[in-house]
Amino acid sequence: MKGDWGMSRFRLGVARVGERYDAIVVGAGPAGLTAALYLARYNVKTVVVSKDLGGNMAIAPLVDDYPGIPEVPGAKLADMFVNHVKKYGVPIIVGDPVTSVKREGDMWCIETESGRRICAYVVILAIGAEKRKLNVPGEDRFVGKGVSYCATCDGPLFKDKVVAVVGGGNSALTSALYLASIARKVYLIHRRDSFKAFPVYVEKVKSNPKIELVLNSIVTEILGDKKVTGIRVRNVDTGEERVIDVDGVFIEIGSEPPKDFLKSIGLELDEEGYIAVNPDMSTNLPGIFACGDVAGGKYAYRFEQIITAAAEGAIAADAAYKYLLKIRSAKTEESRG
């Protein structure tokens, strides 16, 4: 369908409008950027608002499962997504997290940390999930002083040093492999003896001479004075504890949804706190859609891959566009009557 879809011609409801768009995409990972791309191609006046650019895709050391683009650094793939959206002139506001989403008249209005206020008929939430914390003594104290949640961001600081990675999923194993290309030695601490990660990574980790597996083990404390000097590790089978000297600890134990923020909007959540979406990525709130890692519920096949996030973003945009067309018809009828 061609041409401006025309919402801006219609009288608004009671919203105290600041900046006004037809659609706001919150989040600029693969889901949000794809939603923005598709909305722009439907000529929907769209803005992207995000705390960062590229989401978890941007911090993936190397992506080798996005079809057609083999072995691409996550940051480069993220740049490609961003440039594709920018080609359509969609504004992308970065570094300003959204703090509230509220209904005002017939629009949804968001507010950001810096006090920016933007209203639109549609909001697509593609905010991903937050890194899970270990919650052990020393973790908070040494963030930025040896404790990290991002190997690509902080890995280069550990050249020829000894580091530990905690976790047994794809993030932990890809981080361990990346860190092994920089650090002198990498301990991979995992609470079981088998991995959730893809076999392709497990094989690479097992055959890397710089990576030592510490299995059936959990980190009980992060040790140090001004910065990290070691970790206390307990074997869950034997109960035996030991200290491993390390300069850094990379915590890669998955992620969690921002439950409190989502509840404050009035969204229906699933048991784990992800947004319950319908097959078209719509939610219990008319005009709010969700896609990517933050989407859950009985219809979501949670796979947390770049390609599935992008696919969900496209579906959310298409459903949002159809929703906008319905609003336009209703408003046309109203203005005639």
Positions that interact with ligand NAP (CB under 6 A):
60, 65, 132, 134, 166-172, 174, 191-192, 196, 218, 252-255, 304-305
Q: Tell me which of 52, 79, 96, 154 is the catalytic residue.
A: 154
Provide the token pair at 135.
């919650």
CB of 53 to ligand NAP, least distance (A): 18
Other C-beta atoms within 10 Å of 251: how many? 26
150 is catalytic: yes
Q: Which is nearer to ligand NAP, 65 or 240 (CB)?
A: 65
Q: Tell me which of 52, 79, 96, 150 is the catalytic residue.
A: 150
Q: Which is nearer to ligand NAP, 49 or 253 (CB)?
A: 253
Torsion angle defined by CA atoms of residues 89, 95, 100 and 104, in that order, rounded to the nearest 10 degrees: -30
CB of 104 to ligand NAP, least distance (A): 35
Residue nearest to ligand NAP (CB): 169
Nearest to 122 by CA among 265, 22, 263, 228: 22
4 is catalytic: no
Tell me the CA distances in angstroms from 151 to 70, 253, 299, one per residue in order. 21, 13, 33
Q: Which is nearer to ligand NAP, 3 or 135 (CB)?
A: 135
CA distance 12 to 119: 11
Q: Which is nearer to ligand NAP, 123 or 300 (CB)?
A: 300
Q: Which is nearer to ligand NAP, 61 or 146 (CB)?
A: 61
CB of 105 to ligand NAP, least distance (A): 38
Provide the token pair at 292.
């990517």
Provide the token pair at 252.
């890669």
Q: Which is nearer to ligand NAP, 103 or 132 (CB)?
A: 132
**Full DSSP string of 200-231:** HHHHHHHT-TTEEEE-SEEEEEEEESSSEEEE
The set of long-range contacts for 69-78, using a CB threshold of 8 Å and a minimum separation of 24, is: 74/152, 75/152, 77/306, 78/53, 78/54
Helical packing angle, 30-41 and 306-336, nearest 10°? 40
CB of 241 to ligand NAP, least distance (A): 16
Q: Tell me which of 64, 153, 193, 237 is the catalytic residue.
A: 153
CB of 75 to ligand NAP, least distance (A): 14
160 is catalytic: no
Contact yes or no for 269/275 (Cβ under 8 A): yes
CB of 70 to ligand NAP, least distance (A): 12
The residues, ordered by sequence, that sit 6+ positions from 88 with a Cβ below 8 Å of its Cβ are 37, 40, 41
Give the active site residues: 150, 153-154
